Structure 1
C-alpha cells in the first residue's frame, strides 16, 4: 500500500473489546432501479454499487482516501485511491475507480479492514468488516458482516441506508450531472454522532490478558520464557510494594536495569502503582544519571546499583503481593523539556 494511505475503517461507535462477535445486518435495494440505471449509463451493477459504497465511506470517515479489498472483477484485489476533487461528477468518480481497479497495487501485503465482496455468500475467510452483495429476483441484497463489540445494529442500519440513499440519488439526478459533493447521506435523519470512548489502559490490558490466557507466553528473553500470569504477578508485586512503602500516586520513579524480564515488570509495576516511569540506560555516566533524576524530579531509582535513594527490584518483589493495585489512572504523557524525554504518566494530574 502506498505509504500515504491508511486502511479505510468504518468508525467504531462502541468500545473496542478483546472479544469479537461477527454478526450480520442487511438491506434490500431495488434491482430494477439499479439495472435501469446501469443500462442507461452503460455501467456494470458491481461498479455502480462499489462506487456508492466508496462515496458513503468517504463521507463517514471524512476523508477522500479509499483503501479496501474488493472482488469486483472476480479476483480479490485492493482498491487504493484518493480523489480529492469533490466537484467531480459521479460518472468521473466511477471512471477513476475503474482505472484503479485495472491497475491495482502489486506485491501488496497490507492489512485491510473493509471488504466489498460481490456475488459470494462465503466470507468467513475475511476477518474484518465485509459488505456482501448478492442478487435475488427483485433486489440486490447488501449484507454487512460486522463486529458486534465495535458497532451497534442501529449504526450499521444507518450506514446501509446511506448507501441506498446514494444509489437513489444516482438514479434521480443522473451520474453525469450529479457531483460527489452534492450527495447527501440522509433525508430526514442525521449521521449518528461518533462518540469517543475510553480505551483500556496498559495496566488493565495486562490484567485482562493474564486472566484470559494465563499460561500463554508473553515474553522471551535471555533464553527464558515467561507467561502473562508471571509477568502480571511480578508487576503487581512491585506496584503493591511501592504503594506499601508510601510512594504516592504521581511520584516520579526512574529505573535502570539490564534488558531482561525485571526491566519489563519494573516498568509495568511503576505504571500500575500510578507513578511516572523514567527509564535510564545502564551505560549512562553518573553525571547524566544525576542530571536526569534532578530535572525529572525523580526521588527514587529502581536498580541493583548503589545509588542515592535506590530500591532493589528484588526487595520489591519479595515484599509485594499479587493482587491488582487499586489506583485511579488516566492515560497521559509528559515531555520533560530539560531532559528531552517523554515520561509515561498514567495520571490526570501530577
Structure 2
C-alpha cells in the first residue's frame, strides 16, 4: 500500500517544552487517519508539522515520495481545514471556494467546473451566491472543506473542524465527512480530542500523550486492545479495579480484589502476586438476579439512568463502584435503584495490566 504521509523520528521543541517526541508513523494513501489525544498532547503540532506551518527540530517528513521536512507550507500539496473556518467575509461561497484557483490563474471554465463539483460534493451548490454571514456554522464548515478539496490536494489536514458546532450538526457533518473522504479518495489526517468522533470516522487512530505516540490501530483494535492503562481510560468509558494477580493459566488470570476473585485476560506478561489493575468496559458486564457462576459478585444498584436504547447503571460491590451499560431489550424492565443483583463477565472481556502501566 502506498503512503501519503510518512514521519520518521520527528521531534519538535518550543523553548524547553518538547511538544512532539520522536514520532514515527505512516498515513496510507486514501486513508482516514486520526490523531487523537487530550489538550497539549502534541496532535495539533504534528498536524502543523505535516502542513509546513512548523519545521521539525529533528526527523523527516515525506508527502508521497518527496522529503518536505524543510519545505514551507505553500510548496506542499496539502490543504488545511481549521476550526474557525477562515472564510473571506466579503466573498460569496463560490468566490471563497475558487479563490486559490484564481490565484493560480486557472482558466475561468476550469475554475467554474472545479468549484461547481466541489460545492456539489458538500451539497451547497444552491448557496453559491451567499455570503458566509448568511450561512449556519455547519454550512460555513462545508464551504471551508470545499475550498480545501477544490485544489485536489494529496493530503487534507483537519484541525478539530467540528468542535465549534452543536451536537446534532456535529454528528450530521461527521457522516458527511466520511462519505466525502470515500468519494474523493483524498488522504485525510484529522485531529480531535473527541474519542467517539475518532472511533466513528477513522480507518486508523494514533493515540498521543505528552508528545509521545502510544498506539496506532483500527478503532476496533484501539478500543478492545489498548496497549496500556492510559489508552484504556482515554478511549471510551471503563471500570478500573485494583487487586493482586493470584493465579495464571495461559492468558487467563485470577485477581483477588478484597474478598472477591475475578477473572480477566493478561494484557502483558505479569507474574503471580503482582499488583494489577483490571479494565472492564460497562457494556461487557452482565446482570443477573441470581449468581450464575463462582465468579459472580453480589452488588447493589445505586443509580439508574434510562437512555432509551440502553440503561446506564452505577453499581456498588464490596465498596467499589461500577458503571454498567445494559442494552434495551423489548419487553424487559430495567433494574431499579436499590435492587440486589449479581455481576459477572467473560474472562476474555476484561484486561489485566500491571498496576504501574499507566503511561
Q: Aligning the two structures, in what range does the TM-score lie when normalised by the shorter sequence? A: under 0.3
Q: What TM-score results when the alignment is normalised by the length of structure 1?
A: 0.27
Q: Point out the structure with max Rg over C-alpha.
A: 1
Give 1 or 2: higher strand fraction. Answer: 2
Give 1 or 2: higher helix fraction. Answer: 1
Q: What TM-score results when the alignment is normalised by the length of structure 2?
A: 0.26
